Structure 1
Amino acid sequence: MDNAAHLKVIEDLLARPVPGEVAGRENAKEAQGYQLVDLATGELDAVVAAVRSRFGPARTVALDGFTDPSLRRLPGPPLADILADRAVEMYGWSVGQRWLGVGLFKGVGGTGPFLTAVAAPAPASRTGAAAPSSAAELAALTGWQGPRRPVDWESAERKLGLRLPGDYRLLVETFGAGTFDDNFDLCAPGSRYLDLDLITADPTEFLGSAPSSRPAIKLLRWAMTSAEHSFCWLVEDPDPDEWPVFASRDNGEPWKRFDCSSTEFVHRMLTDPQHPYSLARHFEFHWFTPAEQAEGAW
């Protein structure tokens, strides 16, 4: 099955009546408020890319078997419970009256996983699977009340030869270079601590190790951890607000892709105990320390 065929199956799935509006349902899955279709053969990355081109950016809702608990805020069926223990890797969109998930899903009895599309009622109040996080939410979460950190973005982007994501610009203007929970280090253009200067980070350092069938890719690191994890943007789209986050340890472990903004990625690290890079499992409260105040500054 090629990507065009996958999209046709998914569009047919989305065209079905919302399960809650169907009378006399016979399908047990539909009776619980969700529907599944098998996408047969295909590569997950290619199918997700095709769906993304049709419906826009996706949100990572399950990775390595861990499901985003914020899905419990969705109306309709208990989607987090539906995906729990069955979704191995899944990405989500909101399309009209539907929440759409595409990914690897275990069958009954733990068989598979299989390339699967899942549809369920979508939130009525917004177009995304869940509200994106903002710099203001991170400031409230960490109790940060520092002064605004102005940046010469025109100069920074000229030196990089790239436009930078809008949410990242607001994140840096809110916090500046520094560390969350003394573990997660945020880079900023022009930081006097060279390890945290986004401009001096060499994107070619990471070339060739990220999963991609394309002959040339570019990764730009914007954050790191004390455990030698690197967090980069995959510079794959002319619109920087569409860049996904790629994460890996510097020891060469496989890269993980997160289709979300930098700010949302940080927020989920701090609040989601199931996140692969969670700090919520270690700290009940969260804080931010600017680089100039950190002990043993970079």
Structure 2
Amino acid sequence: MELYGPGTIEDCLSLLGPEVWDERLGDGMSSESRTARLTWGKEPKRLFASTAEPRLVAWGVSHSADILCWDAASGAPDEWPVVVWNNDDGRWTRFSCGMVQFLADLLEGLVDPCPPGAKSIAGKQIARILPEDESQRLWAEDIDPQDE
């Protein structure tokens, strides 16, 4: 985030940037985290019986409304596992890796189950990341960033 900031990978996966916490904000980390926490209540607890109640912090969303989160319930931020809401089947999946490893595994085609909204980049190995500020600059010039 320090180097590239928030942005989009191949127009299918949006990476959310840190922000002042306010669940009333529109699209962003706070709002998506609130949605994730509300959605968590729908998941049968038996799937995560061995873990404490998660503290979900959203860091990404797919174009099909999958929510990618950290479980920030314990440990240092670089130890937080990834937890993904699959909007197609209404299930959560926990991955025992962090965000960077998850994204690297996704591009290598190693994430199983793959979030439906990210299947177009699964196994792609090389993907275009469009930083949010560059996307805004292009739109201001009446250029569709996806045409670039």
Q: TM-score, normalised by structure 2?
A: 0.65
Q: Find the partner of 1:254 among 88, 91, 97.
A: 91
Is the contact made by 1:233 and 1:243 (CA closer than 8 Å) also made in structure 2? Answer: yes
Is the contact made by 1:188 and 1:222 (CA closer than 8 Å) also made in structure 2? Answer: yes
Is the contact made by 1:231 and 1:247 (CA closer than 8 Å) also made in structure 2? Answer: yes
Stretches of structure 2 lacking an aligned partner (at least 5 in a row): none
In structure 2, the partner of 1:289 is 130
Q: Find the partner of 2:29 among 194, 198, 221.
A: 198
Q: How do 1:31-50 residues align onto structure 2 when only pairs under 5 Å count?
A: none
Is the contact made by 2:53 and 2:73 (CA closer than 8 Å) also made in structure 1? Answer: no
Runs of 4+ with deviation above 6 angstroms = 294-297
SS of alignment partner, residue 38 of structure 2: helix
Could you say what the CA RMSD is over the residues aligned between the two structures, in angstroms? 3.0
Deviation at 1:246, TM superposition (A): 0.8
Distance 1:217 1:274, change over 3 A: closer
Q: Which has the larger radius of gyration?
A: 1
Distance 1:287 1:215, change over 3 A: closer
Stretches of structure 1 lacking an aligned partner (at least 5 in a row): 1-171
Deviation at 1:187, TM superposition (A): 0.5
Is the contact made by 1:206 and 1:219 (CA closer than 8 Å) also made in structure 2? Answer: no
Deviation at 1:235, TM superposition (A): 2.4
In structure 1, the partner of 2:48 is 212
Counterpart CA distance in 2 for 1:232 and 1:184 is 13
Q: How do 1:125-164 residues align onto structure 2 when only pairs under 5 Å count?
A: none
Counterpart CA distance in 2 for 1:226 and 1:245 is 18
Q: Find the partner of 1:183 among 12, 16, 21.
A: 12
In structure 2, the partner of 1:275 is 111
SS of alignment partner, residue 255 of structure 1: strand
Deviation at 1:218, TM superposition (A): 2.4
Comparing both chains, which one has the higher relative contact order based on Cα–Cα distances under 8 Å and sequence gaps of 6 or more? 2
Percentage identity across aligned positions? 22
SS of alignment partner, residue 182 of structure 1: coil
Is the contact made by 1:207 and 1:218 (CA closer than 8 Å) also made in structure 2? Answer: no
What is the count of residue pairs matched by the alignment?
122
Deviation at 1:245, TM superposition (A): 0.6
Q: Provide Cα deviations, 1:28-54, integer angstroms capped at 9, x if missing partner.
A: xxxxxxxxxxxxxxxxxxxxxxxxxxx
Q: TM-score, normalised by structure 1?
A: 0.35
